[in-house]
Chains A and B, each alone.
Chain A
């Protein structure tokens, strides 16, 4: 009797475990299906948008020859160039996120000084900050040793963080990019005094496709992949990325890169 009870107990426990695995599998499949349902419409929208513009500009250049001024022609050609670059970026983002999810994303580390990267990125964004009447500063000082990191990919992260900060800053706002050495890492901060991120959005901020709910009136939507890609890049380095409130307003995005 005792043996039968023990066998029954063991089988019941196995069935319970099996049931739990089954539920977890179904939940994961449902989540993947839901992500695919979000992913494809987003991809279609983000590819079609610049393609509509490129095709439209070409149509005007072809069909209204002689009716456009030199300035209008220049604007249309500039728009083709700008939308083509945007399209290439979207395709690049989609490829990056696919590789990250497939475990195939790789970085290429070379020995360098991260302060050069920060100054270069700040210099690149200076004109945009001026147009928006935002003060962008990069007071990088202090001893930060050279170390191995993927310069292009770290630039990609900074591109995303600085662009977002400027985008969400009001006129006369400030964006500060800084770096310091920790015990075994370099810590980089991008801080702004903009609109901040609503509390309810904070847990989701590094999830792919996520867009903060307070984006009304601050420009085009984008893919919602930027911060997810930043996270993938920093984690591929063995580092971490997180967000803090910047008192009294705005946000601070911080990432660490281990010194190798």
Chain B
């Protein structure tokens, strides 16, 4: 059974690019662009890991994280926060609310993403990327 990743991200472009290496790795990637539907999706889909953007229209990834950690049926799910802001405030709040890790969106490339989350998925940390030799 492939690992299931819930990708909560309103930026379609970012999702389109960064979901590619995850799908190439064989993960089942479910996209949620509306943050207000995220918790419900976690309950119904029971993902192995959630990639959760902090800045979402009308809501906040931090609020979603807080709610997940308060619910018996979702408190253990692995969550990696995504942010383009990199403010200490956002990061410390994310860790305080119980995020397992965080990634700066401007500081990672798609090919590195599988390796970044492999540990949380209980997999060996090898990258899906094979650099073509010239």
Contacts and interface: CB of A to CB of B under 8 A. Distances in A.
Nearest to B84: A48
B11 interface: yes
A151 to B, nearest CB: 30
Contacts, number: 97
A66 B14 CA distance: 22
A82 B11 CA distance: 12
A49 B111 contact: no
Q: How large is the interface on A (under 10, 10 to 19, 20 to 34, 35 or more residues)?
A: 35 or more
A55 interface: yes
A83 B131 contact: no
B14 to A, nearest CB: 5
Interface in B50-64: 55, 57-59
Interface of A is mostly: helix
B106 A48 contact: yes
Given A45-B84, A48-B84, A56 B58 contact: no
Given A217-B36, A221-B55, A67 B24 contact: yes
B84 A60 contact: no
Contact of B13 (A59, A79, A215, A221): A79
A213 B58 contact: yes
Most B CB within 10 A of own CB, among A53, A57, A65, A215: A53
B10 A65 contact: no
B13 A66 contact: no
A257 B104 CA distance: 45
Most B CB within 10 A of own CB, among A49, A66, A76: A49
A1 to B, nearest CB: 62
Nearest to B131: A63
Interface of A: 41, 44-45, 48-53, 55-57, 59-60, 63-68, 72, 75-76, 79, 82-83, 86, 211, 213-221
9 contacts: A41-B85, A44-B85, A45-B55, A53-B11, A56-B110, A79-B17, A216-B35, A218-B57, A221-B57
Interface of B: 10-14, 16-18, 20-21, 24, 33-37, 55, 57-59, 84-85, 87, 105-106, 109-111, 129-132
